[in-house]
Chain A
Amino acid sequence: MGFYLAQLLTGLANASSLFLIASGLSIIFGVTRIVNFAHGSFYMLGAYLAYTLVTTLQGGIPGYWFSVLAAAVLVGGIGLVVEMTILRRIYRAPELFQLVATFGVVLIVQDATLAIWGAEDLLGPRAPGLDRAVRLMGEPIPEYDLALIAIGPAVLAAIWLVFHRTRWGILVRAATQDREMVGALGVNQAWLFSAAFVLGSALAGLGGALQIPREAVSLQMDLSIIGEAFVVVVIGGMGSVTGAFVAAVLISVLNAFAILIFPQISIVLPFVVMAAVLIVRPYGLFGRPGSEHGGTEEPEQPLRLLDQRSTMVLLALVAMLAFSPAVVSDFTTILLVDVMVATLFAVSLHFMMGVGGMVSFGHAAYFGVGAYAAAMAVKVLGWGMLPAMALGPVAAALAALFFGWFCVRLSGVYLAMLTMAAAQILWGVTFQWQDVTGGDDGILGVWPDEWASSDRVYFYLALVLCLGGIWLLRRVAHSPFGYTLRGVRDSRIRAEAIGIDTRFHQWMGFTLAGTLAGLAGVVFVFSKGSVFPDALSIGHSIDGLIMVLLGGIHALAGPVYGAMAMVLIEDWVSRLDYWRFIFGGIILTVVLLAPDGLAGGVRRLIQLVRRDAA
């Protein structure tokens, strides 16, 4: 009995930390409609700042709590700077821009933190006065956990009071429900948004600061917490602080008991719960419909088939690519395979997002399933390369069929979150299922068959598969199927009114995009000879989003430019120290200054040249 009580209390203590960060995320989303990936960075900064303050002040009990609060306030200040310099400019931008911009902030904060505090994990001191354990029913319970259990509800009560008893809080709630109305009341929106963002980031900072006696302060804190924080916000209902609390308790307590029965479950459990909740309640436990979308997009221009000249240019480029192994080094040949893989991956993601209007935060899942299926076919089943290559996309298609069925029932941010949950579940499975997938060690030694083992032959194989995949998706984009998909994206009600089964159509579009991502994964795995759970990670999904955004979402050619730029930039900057900083800067520059991406830039350039020629 005592043991179960101890488990419950551990669960509740975890729930408090999770609630602090999730409540801030939810407030920020509720008011600004921004899905803030940088929230994990604020949490991490809170921990680092608190560590520095506590260890330099050495001030006993008051010093500790002063440091924690000061760290939260400082993080709130950092949040203000980020809001005023970056986010304020993109409140009206589509979700993709916001997401990628906040991810740019994540990269910059990571390198800034590395530069200031170094790469070593830092072990924080125990909290003075709360550094022992009390015995409850014979089990030792850390005093600090009990303090945390009290802090969570206390913060919830404080937020509730602010939201119900102050003018500002009432405005925040009104903005969460109906933004236009607040505009109509003549409230200074900029101020309201900034203040909400500061409060949200300070809460994340508080969550991080309170964490230092419980875990080592490290550079991994940001991304390790963000997935779970999103889950809590989505389960609770985006914008609902009470919902965040209930969801945090639900997840943490479930987790505390589930690991007793099935220790491997903790990585995937939150995502499974989220998927289940979203299917039953598409807006989360306390959410309302209508709060799911970011900014509205400008209507896209109609698609055009390539004219003759562009076709010639394109063919010439493909021919150049085909002849390149004869002139360039082996190293460049391998890099070109990377470019082609990335391009197919980006084009498949663009097909889903740009053509299909379904923003995916988890597209890497299908890339990874394709790669793993092929690798396992070779290693476990002893298949040859070509049959394994055929199996990859089939497996990806099945995974996309399965998860897509759930995802297309939602839209906007909720759909995006469910795609992320699906990816995290698959990632968790590959990570945990040591016997079959090799877990963290991945699968090694997946090399092409003898005949294709030279870099040059494999290059041509990759060329055929990747360009074939890209050609197929482009062709489909111009086909009735692709047009219908765009139609559903533009106006579901009109599509339904001309006899289109909108959900089924999106489901098939989702599956096609997943299948082609799987093909990219297959080409990838045989070129590298190995695959690791990284292939399915959120980070890889975000790479895809960045490529689509760099290239420009509104052009079919966008992801091609984006993928080339991404691989080349990565190849260049990753040799530098602080490459994340540079890369984050590039991302922010594109988002803020060139929202139509490289494709838009190229289009403007062509127009300029044509006008001069005319």
Chain B
Amino acid sequence: MTPVLEVRGLSKAFGGVQAVDDVSFELRQGEFLALIGPNGAGKTTCFNMLNGYLPPSSGSVKLNGRELIGTPPRRIWRLGVGRTFQITATFLSMTVLENVQMALISHHRRVYDLFSRATRMYLDEAMALLDLVSMREQADRPCSELAYGDLKRLELAIALAHEPALLLMDEPTAGMAPSERVALMGLTADIVARGKVSVVFTEHDMDVVFAHAHRILVLNRGRLIAEGTGAEIRTNPLVQEVYLGGGRLFEKERGNA
């Protein structure tokens, strides 16, 4: 069976900085994969190349065998890749519900419809998605009023709107209270367990990572330095060096992530 995602030799240099350096990995159907590493390791840059926001310096990204490099983000989304952002990106002048409706409108290819009332479209589907992330009560609130953690949950609902085969979540729990983190990632794990969507996520909270990730990749200074299950990663000497040696740094990053 071909993997859902196949990344080969992915690299990106910004001027002199080698932000991502020869990264290769695969993602199997239904897998919940964590990509960890200290700040500046290149995780966000990796994500940006996976879904078309950045052209890589070299390398290949295949989704179900199809090459994605050179495809703009909006096409990659149509091919079934959802994305949540490290710094949330939502439509602030709309309500929570309308944000989800927008994703559904686009999914159903109705963005050029000039006469329907956007607020009345795909209401049930949108509500169901909000239910999934426990945001139903907030459906009619303006997005600009939401707490940061709620915005993150909203982003998840938006990202699930087109029933993606692959979900890329960049620090989905940053800015959330610890109990919220556990709840959100538990929820995501449930969605993964249904087997339709595979997820790659980055995360600084190791409890979350070890609790849910099927497999972990460790990135440091743009290079993959380790790969394995939670137990393997915990005992890996290289990882210990990066994390224990730089442990202070890591704790600090969590604070300002």
Residues on A facing B (Cβ under 8 Å): 299-303, 305, 475-476, 478-484, 486-487, 489-491, 493-502, 505, 508
Contacts and interface: CB of A to CB of B under 8 A. Distances in A.
A479 B112 CA distance: 9
Contacts of A300: 92-93
Contact of B85 (A479, A490, A493, A505): A493
Nearest to B101: A483
A499 B94 contact: no
B226 interface: no
Chain B interface size, as a band, is 35 or more
B254 interface: no
Give chain A's interface secondary structure class.
helix
Given A496-B73, A498-B161, A499-B162, A302 B93 contact: yes
Q: B92, B103, B142: which has the most chain A beta carbons within 10 Å?
A: B92
Given A479-B114, A480-B111, A498 B77 contact: yes
B116 interface: yes
Q: Which of A300, A483, A502 has the most CB of B within 10 A?
A: A483
12 contacts: A299-B142, A300-B92, A303-B93, A303-B119, A476-B114, A484-B102, A490-B92, A491-B90, A494-B91, A495-B91, A497-B83, A500-B74
Contacts of A500: 74, 106, 111
B113 A480 contact: yes
Given A494-B91, A497-B89, A484 B114 contact: no
Query: Considering residues A299, A475, A479, A501, which has the most beta carbons from chain B within 10 angstroms of its beta carbon?
Result: A479
A29 B172 CA distance: 39
A493 B93 contact: no
A302 B117 contact: no
Contacts of A481: 111-114
B93 A499 contact: no
B105 interface: yes
Contacts of A505: 111
Ranked nearest first, the 4 interchain pairs of A and B with the lowest CB-CB distance are: A299-B144, A494-B89, A300-B93, A299-B92
Interface in B158-196: 158, 161-162
A483 B92 contact: no
A493 B89 contact: yes
Given A499-B106, A499-B162, 17 more contacts: A300-B92, A300-B93, A302-B93, A476-B114, A479-B115, A480-B105, A480-B111, A480-B116, A481-B112, A482-B118, A483-B118, A490-B93, A493-B89, A494-B89, A498-B158, A499-B75, A508-B112
B112 to A, nearest CB: 6
Contact of A486 (B72, B73, B94, B110): B94
A192 B72 CA distance: 43
A503 to B, nearest CB: 10
Question: Which of B105, B111, B112 has the most A CB atoms < 10 Å from its CB?
Answer: B111
Contacts of B112: 480-481, 508
Interface in B123-170: 142-144, 158, 161-162
Contacts of A480: 105, 110-113, 116, 118, 121
A228 to B, nearest CB: 37
A469 to B, nearest CB: 13
Contact of B91 (A301, A305, A490, A499): A490
B234 interface: no
A92 B106 CA distance: 34
B78 interface: yes
Contacts of B117: 305, 478-479
B202 interface: no
Given A478-B117, A480-B118, A481-B112, A498 B103 contact: yes
B107 interface: yes
B104 to A, nearest CB: 9
Contact of B115 (A305, A475, A491, A498): A475
Nearest to B107: A499
A502 B142 CA distance: 23
A476 B113 CA distance: 8
A499 B119 contact: no
Nearest to B119: A305
B44 interface: no
B143 to A, nearest CB: 8
A486 B101 CA distance: 13
B79 to A, nearest CB: 10
B93 A299 contact: yes
B203 interface: no
Nearest to A479: B114
Contact of B98 (A483, A491, A493): A483
A572 B219 CA distance: 70
B60 interface: no
A301 B144 CA distance: 8
A490 B144 CA distance: 11
Contacts of A501: 74
B220 interface: no
B95 interface: yes
B83 to A, nearest CB: 5
Given A475-B114, A493-B85, A500-B111, A302 B98 contact: yes
B238 to A, nearest CB: 34
Nearest to B93: A300
Nearest to A298: B144
Contacts of B161: 498
A364 to B, nearest CB: 25
Nearest to A492: B89
Contacts of B85: 493-494, 497
Contacts of B114: 475-476, 479, 481
